[in-house]
A = this chain, B = another copy of it.
Amino acid sequence: MTKFYEDLVVGEVTDLGSHTFTAQEIKTFAAAFDPQPFHLDEEAARQSHFGALCASGWHTCAIWMRLMIVDVDRVRNEAVAQGLPVAERGPSPGFRDLKWLKPVYAGDTISYSATLVDKRVSASRPGWGLVTHHNLGVNQKGERVLEFTASAFLQRRPA
C-alpha cells in the first residue's frame, strides 16, 4: 500500500499475517467496547448460542487494521531504506459488505489477506487514485470468519 497507485495490479493478493486471539485479550476488548456475556465470560458463553468464549466482531476488524498498518509500515520502511520515493496514503471513505461468517473463539488463529479488486483514478482528487481491496480472515481450519471490501485513496506517481 505504500506503492504508488500505478504499481498496484488488480488481482494481487497481499498476505497480512496472522493473529491468535487469547481469552484475556478477547475479554479486555469486550469490556471496553462490546460488553456482551459471550465475549466476557467462559461460562456465560457456554450457555449462549456461540457455545464458547469468542471475540467481538469489531475486535476481529481492529486486528485486521493493525496487521494492515504493520504491513504498510514494513513496505514503507523498506522503500525508505532503499532511497525510493514513498506514496502518500489518503483517508478511507469506508467499506461495504462486512460479513462475520463464523465465530472467532479463544485460541483461534486468524490469517488475514487483502486482494486488490478495483482501482480507478479519483475524479475529485487530482493526483490520487482510489483502490479497493477485498479483505479476508480465515481460521486455522481454513474456514472464512470475516470478509469485507474497503476503499482507500492512494497517491499517483508524480509525472
Q: Which residues of A contact B (CB under 8 A)?
A: 32-36, 49-50, 56-58, 61-63, 65-66, 69-70, 73, 88, 90-100, 103, 148
In the complex, A92 Cα to B50 Cα: how many Å? Answer: 12
Contact in complex: B35, A69 (CB < 8 Å):
yes
Residues of B within 8 A of A50 (CB): 91
* Tally of this chain's copies: 2
Determine the residue in chain B with the shortest Cβ distance to A146: B94
Given A96-B97, A98-B95, A98-B98, A62 contacting B90 (CB threshold 8 A) = no
Shortest Cβ distance from A64 into chain B, in angstroms? 9
Given contacts A33-B65, A58-B62, A94-B97, 15 further A-B contacts (CB under 8 A): A32-B62, A33-B62, A34-B62, A34-B65, A34-B69, A35-B69, A49-B88, A56-B65, A58-B61, A58-B65, A93-B100, A94-B99, A95-B98, A96-B96, A96-B98
Determine the residue in chain B with the shortest Cβ distance to A39: B69
Given A33-B66, A65-B33, A66-B33, A57 contacting B99 (CB threshold 8 A) = no
